[in-house]
Structure 1
């Protein structure tokens, strides 16, 4: 690994960060709910960005009339999500950084609030589903983001101190999780939310 790089590991959020998949997520919710005769509000994306599938499911049941249980909903939503594979692409900002860090020998790991079905599907679509790649999905932890658990588990699996880890995120939820874990957080260019947590732009990670 390059002696000039200041982190021992880099942990990537997946959707909207490493993988350009947010439009497909929104479309899949619209289609899956539409197939049940239900609709989602205009502010759905902003309201649910960074939330776990379980939390979104609870919102759909309590506020929007969904009657499926979590297992039934997860399957229906995944089928809608996988119906448009061309909508899942490498993120044009993040992917060159991933590849550069890979060349440098830096440990990298994907840490997502998404269900494992979607994590593995996305990584396969962008060519990153490899036996040696460590990943954490919402299924692998007790508490998802914004809790620190996913990122602390990543540090444990990589055998790296949290203070020597970088987190790359696109949501306030993920930023809060990385900050709570005691890591340095870098945010994608489109992030513009007000937050009490300090962060750096992703462009400065290799600078």
Structure 2
């Protein structure tokens, strides 16, 4: 049964740790198990972008794994999950996944997700993009991943940074058929669009 399977959450060192925190908070609120893998760069970025400590973020997950533990459950295809999201996904992590370089638990778990034909969503956080980034995105897409950069939806009329983060996290979870009630849907309030 997929409903009780965990979502693997990879967090790399790109800017955008607020997305990862809100995702973990939301999964916890929805009682959906999560397995967290954070890179050392993510831990550094967390300190720059938030007032949270690494232990506080780990506590939001059902289980957390050390990034260098290649014996952890998400490193095996026999560990059944509903898929994996990397949020945010740095260009370095994107490149490693595209090259199938399972050199740490995050990239190994992503590779396992692809080989098992499960949903892998990469919230790539880089701009502007050079040809290498674009080719890596094309490669992971051809392998079955979904590239979902955090693009604000201004039709939702966000009033705060939290509104922007919530909408983006809601749309990420939509990709796993999880309706978290965070995303304002296009024309949902009024079928004529006049709200």
Q: TM-score range by the shorter chain?
A: 0.3 to 0.5
Q: TM-score, normalised by structure 2?
A: 0.44
Q: TM-score, normalised by structure 1?
A: 0.42
Flag the structure with more relative contact order, 1 or 2, with Cα contacts below 8 A and sequence separation at least 6: 1
